Amino acid sequence: MKELVKKTGHELRGLLDKKEVTSVEVAKAFLGRIEEIDGELNCFLTVTADLALEQAKAADERITSGKAGPLTGIPVGLKDLLVTKGVRTTCASKILENFIPPYDGTAVAKLREAGAIFPGKLNMDEFAMGSSNENSAFGPVKNPWDLTRVPGGSSGGSAASVAACEVPMSLGSDTGGSIREPAAFCGIVGMKPSYGRVSRYGLIAFASSLDQIGPMARDVEDAAILFKAISGFDPRDSTSLNPPAFDLKKALNPDVKGLRIGVPKEYFVEGMDPEVESAVRKAIAQLKEMGAEVKEVSLPHTEYAVAVYYIIATAEASSNLARFDSVRFGMRVDGKDLIDTYRETRAAGFGMEVKRRIMLGTYALSAGYYDAYYRKAQRVRTLIARDFAEAFREVDVICTPVVPSVAFRHGEKIADPLQMYLSDIFTIPLNLAGLPGLSLPCGFTKEGMPIGLQMMAGFLQEETLFRAAYAYEQANDWRRIPALGEVK
Amino acid sequence: MDWEMVVGLEVHSQLLTKTKIFCGCSTRFGASPNTQVCPVCLGLPGALPVLNKRVVEFAIKVGLATGCTVAPVSRFARKNYFYPDLPKGYQISQYELPILEFGHLDIEDDKGAPKRIGITRIHMEEDAGKLLHPDVPGADYSLVDLNRACVPLLEIVSEPDIRSAGEAVRYVKKLREILVYLGVCDGNMNEGSLRVDANVSVRPRGREKFGTRAEIKNVNSFKFLEQAINYERERQIELIEEGGTVIQETRLFDAAKGVTLGMRSKEEAHDYRYFPDPDLLPIVISSEEVEKAKELLPELPDPKRERFRTSYGLPALDADVLCSARELADFFEEAVKLHSDAKAVSNWVMGSVLKNLNRDGFDSVAFSPVTPAMLAGMLDLVKNGAISSKIAKEVFEEMWTSKKSAEAIVKEKGLTQISDTSEIEAIVDAIIAKNPSEFERLKGGDAKLTGFFVGQIMRESKGKANPGLVNELLKKKMDS
Ligand SMILES: [Zn+2]
């Protein structure tokens, strides 16, 4: 029975449909795995075993009555910034430690309706701010490939839980690389959709114009299935789009003949881990052998992306986090008067990194600095988006590393925020441009750490993106399970 | 020194949409606290605003009625500040790109001359909630009611063109009239549907530079607006003449004392850190939409008044009164369609109809039990001589209470005017016989007695005698 947790979602689907296993058995297997190893990993902030078993029972009934969808009876872990009705949602912050939302976000509601099973809420960097998952108020997540290393952030719990077989798939959110970077560090597939393709309703906002919910899974097929399930127009999100429905068949086509692949010269920088560079270059060469056309492209404004990102993201965050004021929900520390109560509550409730970003963003929006920082950043953002638009006139997919290195050790960069911010250098531009991107394993270092390959595509070109990733994945065998708590 | 006051007004008007500006909650006034709220207007984590399209439609109407330019692209911004009645920690408003700009409103100055007040901009925004301070001795807490949070407002900002309290009041009255006419605001100042902030400064007459202004917040009646502005003018002049300086601050009007008071002075100047709200897309309005809205725009009070004067030949006073409310003007026009003597209709509407509405405590002609058709029917009877205008008063009251037609009432009560000469002549003869000496004096040229005799005859006939015939017969008797 323990073999079950090694299965992907679509493999479980086959077993469930053939009645070789029940949803309840699936749920119990994964809950057991969580109980067995999560003490070491710290992926889960809340385990909802009762809810999962209840959902599993309902899923079994649905399967029996022939009304099962692709995700019916499949466990999906939820990053703890996704609002869940009746289930504690903390954003990994003390300020929301006891917050129980009265409603479901749209992505969660869609999964609930599809019959998915929710084993619990996953650890993350507080309010999704961080690149290493060391900023959680409830302790860091460990990388299942090496417990001394970080899993990447901010969807570290979502990535590590999938890599360690605690769930077959999960949802994360990506503001500047928060799905792709931890996916690369943990050796799984993570995908950030085009901005507006997945509703943000019920996603506790970090930076509204950049945030996007996306799937994390052990293979491309699962990621595509999960993406299809959560995407679509939502009248409750004004920025939601209504493109033609995502075609799973077109996405899961292993043929890359004629696919034009771009390699941006600005993304192969000095100081990159040579093992990472070599693995990524090998992957590109392999795609070429498979019939893709490879050419160099240029994204000339790349060097400004990190600076632009930290102005826009922090500006939006400073405003988005104003609602955590102790008046209606969350913790409250009583002060001597109203203003003092705000101050005390926010001082005690927010962690260091969150405070740092609120300060930065407040400064960037202040009278007298707005033009020099925020407005200028928006202008450069437009230029970055234009770079991509031009590049995607010549190519269908752009391939780059996800991160310049593999997962680093806990504490290695936490004291140097600037160094930490630079680790998102390859993922941030895509969020600024609102385009879809995906991270998938493309090798391992000598030390056995997974290396990620990033693929990016034009606006709403998710089918092309998945197709390229699927083709590469089918031609390789990087899907591995870390030795941790060896699955018996 | 001769001082001149400079006033600019910001009018906040609550829009008459059924649901709030960014969520589907009801906007009904007076519900129990926090019964009309949802994750969006409560500002819960993860909730997102979605613009109510009716608000944009209403804004366009107001813009067209005030001569504003409708921006092809406008957008919402966040105004960031902390206050317990502001759930998100920011108010969604418009800043750099408002939906409407460069309009005006025509009023009269204190001497009755026409004057144009510029409208700088009109923008859409959400209202905040309300703090309730418990009426419990020693209570060290306040409660928050968020029913009003997210209710749609239009903020109408005037140019500093206003020079007196009278002009300010006339400007707001005119604005209110237009908003109510358009059906976008109920204009109810008691319930806060219309609130005014007044920016007041003074300067020596002839100087171009403005003085330092004080902002008087949230005035909610015309009387208070007038008092507050006049008080503020005197306060500032006195202050300057005594060698002091006016500081830029926010003041509140204390209606009980009739004075404005500085709010606790804010040490640090407010920095709202405005920026475009990333949760809402820019509002794009095509010229076709504007054209369509223009066609659907109802006739506005000023052009209506003009038309009432010219096409019905009514005096200005009548036109003003009849056009003061859209339903009243409609009532009048409906009656005139059925009874063409416009002045007679106007007299009755302005007289009996308004008087009775007022007496019965109704604030709109919509509540009148006498319909335009009933009024026209009664006036027809007067015109064709079936009843006298005196009897008509009685008939009108009867219509008001019974809601029966004038014709039915006249028939039921036998109120038909006596136009039979012999019948009236008999009464005339009887009255003359009763008052022989008075009749002699009348014949001798004491014209004052005419009234006495007509009165007696009318009384004898219970008011039913045709007054024309009475006069005619009386004259004949005098000459015989
Ligand atoms: Zn609401």
Q: Do A328 and B281 touch (CB under 8 A)?
A: no
Q: What is the pLDDT of residue B146?
A: 97
Local structure of A267: helix, strand or coil: helix
Q: pLDDT-based confidence at A9, cuts 50/70/90?
A: very high
- Out of B39, B89, B271, the one facing A102 most closely (by C-beta) is B39
Separation of alpha carbons B329 and B322, rounded Å: 5
Q: What is the mean pLDDT of residues A450-476?
A: 98
Output the average pLDDT for chain A. 96
Say yes or no: A372 contacts chain B, CB-CB below 8 A: no
| pLDDT of A462 over the 60 cut | yes
pLDDT value of residue A413: 87
Q: Is the pLDDT of residue A117 over 60?
A: yes
Buried b (16+ CB within 10 A) or exposed e, B405-432: bbbebbeeeebebbeeeeebeebbeebb
CA A299 to chain centre: 24
Per CB-CB distance under 8 Å, the chain A contacts of B268 are none
Is the bond into A65 cis (omega within 30 degrees of 0)?
no
Output the pLDDT for position B265. 57
Q: What is the DSSP letter of A402?
A: S
Per-residue pLDDT tens for B320-351?
999 988 999 999 999 999 998 999 999 999 99
pLDDT over 90 (residue B466)? no
The answer to whether A317 and A127 are in contact (CB under 8 A) is yes
CB-CB neighbors (< 8 A) of A102 in chain B: 39, 44
Shortest distance between the Cα of A239 and any Cα of chain B, in A, equals 7
Q: What is the pLDDT of residues B225-261, one digit of tens each?
A: 999 999 999 999 999 999 999 988 899 999 889 899 8
A201 C-alpha to center of ligand 1: Å?
14
Is 70 exceeded by the pLDDT of residue B268? no
Alpha-carbon distance of A484 to B468, in angstroms, equals 116
Q: For residue A304, give Cα distances in angstroms to A301, A310, A397, A402.
A: 6, 10, 22, 17
Tokens linked to A410:
């806990």
> For A45-57, what is the mean pLDDT?
98
pLDDT reported for residue A421: 79
Cα(B151) to centroid(ligand 1), Å: 9
- The residue-averaged pLDDT of A428-454 equals 98
Q: Which two tokens stand for residue B362?
A: 């109704």
Residue A349 · residue B45 · CB < 8 Å = no
> Are B45 and A323 within 8 A, CB to CB?
yes
Are the CB atoms for A173 and A79 separated by under 8 Å? yes
pLDDT of residue A486: 67
For residue B410, the model assigns a pLDDT of 82
First to last CA, chain B: 77
Residue A488, pLDDT above cutoff 60: no
- Predicted confidence at residue B425, as pLDDT, reads 82
pLDDT score for A417: 80
**B-contacting residues of A 287-346, CB under 8 Å?**
315-316, 318-319, 321-325, 327-329, 338-339, 342
Quick check: helix, strand or coil at residue A67?
Answer: coil
Nearest Cα neighbor of A9 from A255, A269, A175, A223 is A223
Contacts of A322 in chain B (CB under 8 A): 80, 82, 88-90
Residues B227, B253: contact at Cβ < 8 Å?
A: yes
Pairing between β-strand B90-94 and β-strand B100-108 as defined by DSSP bridges: unpaired
- Given a cut of 70, whether residue A2 has pLDDT beyond it is no
CA distance B59 to B277: 19
* Partners of residue A324 in chain B, C-beta under 8 Å: 45, 89
Q: Give the pLDDT mean for A183-208.
A: 98
Residue A1 has pLDDT above 60, yes or no: no
Distance separating alpha carbons of residues A480 and A189, to the nearest angstrom: 12
CA-nearest of B130, B131, B175, B170 to B154 is B175
Tell me the mean pLDDT in the region B52-75: 97
* pLDDT tens digits, B93-135: 999 999 999 999 999 999 999 999 999 999 999 999 999 988 8
Interatomic CA distance for residues B379 and B375, integer angstroms: 6
E strand or H helix that includes residue A192? strand A189-192
Centroid of ligand 1 to alpha carbon of B46 (angstroms): 14
What spacing in Å lies between the alpha carbon of B36 and ligand 1's midpoint?
A: 7
What average pLDDT score do residues A246-266 get?
A: 96
**CA B43 to centroid of ligand 1, rounded, Å:** 9
Dihedral, CA of residue A456, residue A461, residue A463 and residue A464, to nearest 10: -50
CA-based nearest residue to A3, from A11, A70, A53, A122: A11
**Per residue in B66-90, pLDDT tens?**
999 999 999 999 999 999 999 999 9
* DSSP conformational letter for A458: S
Strands, sheet with B275-276, edge to edge from the N-terminal-most edge strand: B90-94, B76-80, B275-276
Per-residue pLDDT at B95: 96
Ligand 1 centroid to residue B22 C-alpha, Å: 7
Active site residues of A: 79, 154, 178
pLDDT at B269: 63
State residue B458's pLDDT score: 81
Say if residues A195 and A434 touch (Cβ distance below 8 Å). Answer: yes
Which of B39, B50, B273 is facing A366, going by the closest CB pair? B273
Q: What is the pLDDT of residue A444?
A: 97
Which of B48, B53, B132, B267 would best serve as a mutation to test chain A binding (most A beta carbons within 10 A)?
B48
- Test B48 with A200 for CB contact under 8 angstroms: yes
Please report the beta strands in A338-473, taking only residues with DSSP state E, as ranges in sequence order: 397-401, 437-444, 450-457
Spatial contact of A65 and A31, defined as CB atoms under 8 Å apart:
no
Q: Which of A405, A433, A431, A401 shows the shortest CA–CA distance to A419?
A: A405
Please name which of B74, B72, B5, B64 lies closest in space to residue B280, comparing C-alpha atoms: B74
Which residues on chain A are in Cβ contact (under 8 Å) with B45?
Answer: 83, 89, 91, 96, 99, 101, 204-205, 323-324, 329
Least confident piece of the model among A282-286, A312-316, B476-480: B476-480
What is the widest separation between alpha-carbon atoms in chain A?
A: 70
Higher pLDDT pick, B446 / A287: A287
The answer to pTM > 0.95 is no
What count of CB pairs under 8 Å joins A to B? 103
The yes-or-no verdict on residue B266 having pLDDT over 60 is: no
Question: In the 3-class helix/strand/coil scheme, how is chain B assigned residue by residue?
Answer: CCEEEEEEEEEEEECCCCECCCCCCECCCCCCCCCCCCCCCCCCCCCCCCCCHHHHHHHHHHHHHCCCEECCEECEEEEECCCCCCCCCEEEEECCCCCEEEEEEEEECCCCCEEEEEEEEEEEEECCCEEECCCCCCCCCCEEECCCCCCEEEEEEECCCECCHHHHHHHHHHHHHHHHHCCCCCCCCCCCCEEEEEEEEEEECCCCCCCCCEEEEEECCHHHHHHHHHHHHHHHHHHHHCCCCCCCEEEEEECCCCEEEECCCCCCCCCCCCEECCCCCCEECCHHHHHHHHHHCCCCHHHHHHHHHHHHCCCHHHHHHHCCCHHHHHHHHHHHHHCCCHHHHHHHHHHHHHHHHHHCCCCCHHHCCCCHHHHHHHHHHHHCCCCCHHHHHHHHHHHHHHCCCHHHHHHHHCCCCECCHHHHHHHHHHHHHHCHHHHHHHHCCCCCHHHHHHHHHHHHCCCCECHHHHHHHHHHHHHC
The token pair that represents A69 in the structure block: 């969808």
Question: Stretch B270-274: mean pLDDT, rounded?
Answer: 91
pLDDT at B443: 82
Distance A37 CA to ligand 1 centre (A): 42
A97 and chain B: CB distance < 8 Å anywhere? no
pLDDT number for residue A306: 95
- For residue B51, the chain A residue with the least C-alpha distance is A238
Q: Does A366 sit within 8 Å of B45, measured CB to CB? A: no
Q: How many CB atoms lie within 10 A of CB A325?
A: 25
Measure CB to CB from residue B87 to each of A209, A328, A338 and give the nearest one: A328
Chain A residues touching B144 at Cβ < 8 A: 327-328
Structure confidence at residue A487 (pLDDT): 63
Band (B263; pLDDT cuts 50, 70, 90):
confident
How far CA A441 is from CA of A181, A295, A397, A481, in Å, comes to: 11, 22, 17, 12
A365·B273 Cβ contact <8 A:
yes
**Residue B342: both structure tokens together:** 């416009």
| Cβ(B318)–Cβ(B350) below 8 Å | yes
Kindly give, in sequence order, each residue whose CB lies less than 8 Å from that of residue A61, ignoring residues fewer than 6 positions away: none
ipTM for the complex?
Answer: 0.95
Quote the mean pLDDT of chain B.
Answer: 92
Q: A327 vs B84: CB contact, 8 Å cut-off?
A: yes
List the single residue in A103, A322, A338 with the smallest CB-CB distance to B39. A103
CA distance A106 to chain B (A): 10
CB B58 within 8 A of CB B15: yes
d(CA A464, ligand 1 centre) in Å: 39
Q: For residue A475, what are the CA distances in angstroms to A225, A247, A250, B67, B219?
A: 20, 22, 17, 67, 73
Instruction: Taking the CA atoms of A232, A233, A238 and A239 in sequence, report the sign of the dihedral they define.
Output: positive
**Bridge partner residues of B155 (DSSP):** B12, B123
For A191-201, give one letter per residue: b (16+ CB within 10 A) or e.
bbbbbbbbbbb
Task: Mark which residues 174-213 of A lie under 8 Å from B by CB.
Answer: 200-205, 207-209
Q: What percent of chain B has pLDDT over 90?
A: 72
Half-sphere exposure of A328 (CA within 13 A, CB side): 26
